[in-house]
């Protein structure tokens, strides 16, 4: 999932080597998923990519998340995001940064977290008959939309069939095939898997379908085992978040609407229009996960 269409041109050099610089101190609201990285001792990072509404930092550490997204209010609030009110300006790929001891330092900014938000809030108890009705509505909207997933057939069908039947072999085999498949910062195969993992875990727990949660656990272990060597750093981090049931605000809004029986069209349309195909890929994963929850409940 990319935020913005092209990297922003660099306006002024702002490389840091750890020396004390004149900095602008700004507050941020951070996902609880990035708390482990922020509470470790200060360590180096670098800018992976810079867009008008998002800057991605890669930490030089084994602590997850491996990538932190700095985003403005206009950008997608990813599960590994720190949201700023100030504009993101003057950054370029390769710029050095520092993360830890409660701060993020990059360029001329020193960001201190003032508020935390939960990227994996528990859903209320969900009625299965209501979920079945919501699945039909979700399918109608997705099928009528011009926004389509970046991948179809083959491994996608095998994954859906494996999840519906509870076949761990088919589900794991197809997940391995999809990981890293497709172009972009977050390939389509990864977005599909992320949507699926979150839906299986969150909706499975809300509906009391233990087999769905069990399947999510196995898929998560397989997907995250070697994600860093199979896909992009940004996508690997988002898969790690999805394995814990953490998702963007757009995905969470769809899941909550499904669980409580609210109209899903507004939140689903917002999701479908993320990125080039990322929103449609995530929606495919949510749809497949919800369908699997219902199948596994029988």
The two structure tokens encoding residue 177: 């095939």
Condensed to tens digits (0 to 9), the pLDDT of residues 30-83 reads 999 999 999 889 999 999 999 999 999 999 877 667 899 999 988 899 999 999
Phi-psi map region of 254: left, alpha, beta (phi>0 left; psi -120 to 50 alpha): alpha
Q: pLDDT at position 87, please? A: 86
Amino acid 23: pLDDT: 81
- Mean pLDDT, residues 196-202 taken together: 98
Tell me how far apart the alpha carbons of residues 163 and 58 are, in angstroms, rounded to a whole number: 33
> What residues contact residue 156 under an 8 Å CB cut-off, 6+ apart?
149, 174, 178, 192, 284
Angle, helices 155-165 vs 278-296, to 10°: value is 30
pLDDT in tens, 81-131: 999 998 888 899 999 999 999 999 998 899 999 999 999 999 999 999 999
2 pLDDT exceeds 70?
A: no
Q: Is the pLDDT of residue 8 over 80?
A: no
Polymer length in residues for the chain = 298
pLDDT digits (tens, 9 = 90+) for 205-234: 999 999 999 999 999 999 999 888 899 999
DSSP 60: S
Residue 132 has pLDDT above 90, yes or no: yes
How close are the terminal C-alpha atoms of the chain, in Å?
Answer: 34
Other Cβ atoms less than 10 A from the Cβ of 199: the count is: 31
Interacting residues of 298 by C-beta distance below 8 A, sequence separation 6+: none
Which structure tokens are listed for 274?
């993320």
Q: Which residues 6+ apart lie within 8 Å of 248 measured at CB? A: 1, 76, 77, 78, 79, 119, 274, 282
Q: Is 111 helix (H, G, I), strand (E, B) or coil?
A: strand
**Tokens representing residue 142 in the block:** 């997705």
């Amino acid at each position: 999932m990319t935020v913005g269409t092209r990297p922003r041109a660099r306006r002024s050099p702002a490389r840091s080597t750890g020396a004390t610089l004149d900095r602008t101190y700004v507050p941020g609201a951070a996902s609880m998923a990035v708390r482990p990285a922020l509470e470790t001792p200060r360590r180096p990072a670098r800018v992976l990519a810079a867009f008008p509404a998002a800057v991605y930092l890669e930490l030089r550490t084994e602590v997850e998340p491996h990538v932190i997204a700095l985003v403005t209010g206009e950008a997608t609030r990813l599960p590994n995001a720190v949201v700023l009110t100030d504009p993101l300006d003057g950054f370029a790929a390769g710029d050095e940064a520092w993360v830890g001891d409660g701060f993020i330092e990059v360029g001329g900014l020193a960001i201190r977290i003032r508020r935390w938000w939960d990227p994996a809030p528990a859903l209320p108890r969900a009625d299965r008959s209501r979920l079945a009705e919501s699945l039909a509505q979700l399918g109608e909207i997705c099928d009528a939309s011009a926004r389509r997933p970046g991948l179809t057939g083959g491994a996608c069908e095998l994954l859906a069939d494996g999840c519906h039947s509870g076949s761990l072999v088919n589900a794991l085999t197809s997940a391995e095939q999809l990981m890293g498949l497709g172009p972009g910062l977050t390939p389509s195969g990864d977005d599909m898997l992320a949507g699926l993992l979150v839906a299986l875990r969150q909706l499975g727990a809300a509906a009391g379908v233990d087999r769905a949660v069990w399947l999510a656990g196995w898929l998560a272990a397989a997907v995250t085992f070697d994600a860093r060597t199979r896909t992009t750093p940004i996508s690997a981090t988002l898969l790690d978040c999805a394995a814990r049931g953490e998702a963007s605000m757009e995905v969470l809004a769809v899941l909550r609407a499904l669980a409580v029986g609210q109209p899903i069209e507004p939140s689903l349309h917002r999701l479908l229009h993320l990125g080039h195909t990322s929103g449609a890929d995530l929606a495919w994963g949510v749809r497949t996960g919800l369908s699997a929850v219902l199948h596994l409940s029988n």
